[in-house]
């Protein structure tokens, strides 16, 4: 569920279409959908956000359920919004069930759900590099975005030995050659909900720049984690010039089609979002499983399953690409693997 001023029916249709095939790649028994509103939580008080979420759920609750559709967070829909939405659903239906994921730990949420998309992205990237006799240790990484996906992509990349030197938001970007300070980033963006200018003001090694510019920084790995169509052909040319080896999508379709083709034609290992950012929805499904069992798994249990799922996704798309004569074309691998699973299910159920 996305809450952002750019939301319109066309965007939700293409995101929903993509979500179906992404979810099929997770190996978990879930379909896919997308919803949202052009309401912008930024700059609103908690009271204003709560009033909107309650009104939104008053209309939505008739169409969702633990075994029907289960919304999860996306751009603009974080723990605060999920809480307000879930509270209103519970009031309206008098049911406590796993109808939303990304819930608070005290009321049905899953450990590792917050970290899942960012962590999963890096588990897949590391699997890709290992398959090519390499790993993340010592690599320089550029990341766009400063929300949930970007923050935990930065955290996991640095845990795996890489140095992440950029993050960005809607007004500007940070270059921090010493490596992004994850604790400070979380404080600025998650706690204080401030712009990245606040990060630069408190970090001597950081430079703040207005506008766009993340992709101009020399790096080995690029992770677009902000929004759709953020990495253009000109950006792709700059990345190739700077020697980037891997581009993996943390956001939903952040790379334009011409940029994708250019990266692939120039030997960059490119992984589309339907595979690379499937970690979030995978742990959403694991949260649904915990809700059904009325159990809570440990962080290590959930994180271990996430890692296994992402490595399985990589193996699946790499194997499928090779089978169809397109080795290392992970767009082909992800598209065909996802489509075939959905097509076989549709055919088997007699609804084609």
Q: Is 148 annotated as a binding residue?
A: yes
73 labelled binding-site residue: yes
In the 3-class helix/strand/coil scheme, how is the chain assigned residue by residue? CEECCCCCHHHHHHHHHHHHHHHHHCCCCCCCCCCEECCCCCCCCHHHHHHHHHHHHHHHHHHCCCCCCCCCCCCCCCHHHHHHHHHHHHHHHCCCCCCCCCCCHHHCCCCCCCCHHHHHHHHHHHHHHHHCCCCCCCCEEEEECCCHHHHHHHHHHHHCCCEEEEEECCCEEEECCCCCCHHHHHHHHHHCCCCHHHHHHCCCCCEEEECCCHHHCCCCEEEECCCCCCECHHHHHHHHHCCCCEEECCCCCCECHHHHHHHHHCCCEEECHHHHCCHHHHHHHHHHHHHHHCCCCCHHHHHHHHHHHHHHHHHHHHHHHHHCCCCCCHHHHHHHHHHHHHHHHHHHCCCC
Q: Is 349 annotated as a binding residue?
A: no
What does the pLDDT read at residue 75? Answer: 86
* Spans of the chain, pLDDT less than 50: none
Under 8 Å between Cβ of 249 and 255: yes
Q: How, if at all, do strands 207-210 and 172-175 pair?
A: antiparallel
User: Token pair for residue 323?
Assistant: 């089978």
Q: Which residues have a catalytic role annotated?
A: 34
Which pLDDT does position 204 carry in this prediction?
A: 96
CA pair distance 272, 136, nearest whole angstrom: 19
- How far is 153 from 277, CA to CA, in rounded Å? 10
Cβ contacts of residue 22 below 8 Å, gap of 6+?
A: 32, 273, 274, 275, 277, 278, 281, 338
Which pLDDT belongs to residue 252? Answer: 87
CATH architecture label of 117-276: 3-Layer(aba) Sandwich (3.40)
Cα distance between residue 98 and residue 107, in whole Å: 10
Closest among 244, 256, 181 to 217, alpha carbons compared:
244
Query: Is 110 annotated to bind ligand?
Result: no
Structure token pair of residue 57: 């759920």
Q: Which residue has the tokens 């970290």?
A: 115
Q: How many CB atoms lie within 10 A of CB 328?
A: 17
pLDDT digits (tens, 9 = 90+) for 18-76: 899 999 999 899 999 999 999 999 889 999 999 999 999 999 999 999 999 999 998 89
CA distance 217 to 140: 10
Structure tokens given for 237: 């040319």
- Give the residue extent of every domain in the chain: 117-276
């Amino acid at each position: 569920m996305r809450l952002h001023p750019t939301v319109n029916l066309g965007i939700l249709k293409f995101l929903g279409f993509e979500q179906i095939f992404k979810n099929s790649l997770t190996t978990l028994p879930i379909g896919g959908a997308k919803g949202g509103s052009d309401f912008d939580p930024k700059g609103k008080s908690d009271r204003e956000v709560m009033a909107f979420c309650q009104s939104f759920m008053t209309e939505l609750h008739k169409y969702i359920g633990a075994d029907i559709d289960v919304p999860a967070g996306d751009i603009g829909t974080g723990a605060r919004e999920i809480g307000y939405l879930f509270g209103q659903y519970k009031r309206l239906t008098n049911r406590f069930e796993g109808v939303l994921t990304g819930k608070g730990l005290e009321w049905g949420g899953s450990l590792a759900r917050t970290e899942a998309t960012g962590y999963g992205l890096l588990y897949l990237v590391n699997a890709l590099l290992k398959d090519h006799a390499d790993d993340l240790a010592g690599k320089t990484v550029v990341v766009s975005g400063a929300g949930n996906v970007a923050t935990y992509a930065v955290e996991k990349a640095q845990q795996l030995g890489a140095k992440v030197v950029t993050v960005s938001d809607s007004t500007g970007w940070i270059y921090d050659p010493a490596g992004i300070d994850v604790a400070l980033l979380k404080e600025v963006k998650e706690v204080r909900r401030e712009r990245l200018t606040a990060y630069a003001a408190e970090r001597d090694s950081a430079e703040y720049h207005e506008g766009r510019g993340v992709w101009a920084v020399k790096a080995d790995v690029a992770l677009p984690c902000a929004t759709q169509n953020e990495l253009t052909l000109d950006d792709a040319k700059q990345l190739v010039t700077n020697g980037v080896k891997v581009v993996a999508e943390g956001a939903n379709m952040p790379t334009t089609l011409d940029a994708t083709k250019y990266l692939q034609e120039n030997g960059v290992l490119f992984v589309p979002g339907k595979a690379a950012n499937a970690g979030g929805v995978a742990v959403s499904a694991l949260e649904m499983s915990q809700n059904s069992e009325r159990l809570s798994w440990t962080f290590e249990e959930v994180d271990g399953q996430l890692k296994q799922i992402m490595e399985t996704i990589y193996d699946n798309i790499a194997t499928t690409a090779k089978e169809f004569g397109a080795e290392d074309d992970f767009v082909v691998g992800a598209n065909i693997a996802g489509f075939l699973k959905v097509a076989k299910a549709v055919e088997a159920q007699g609804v084609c």
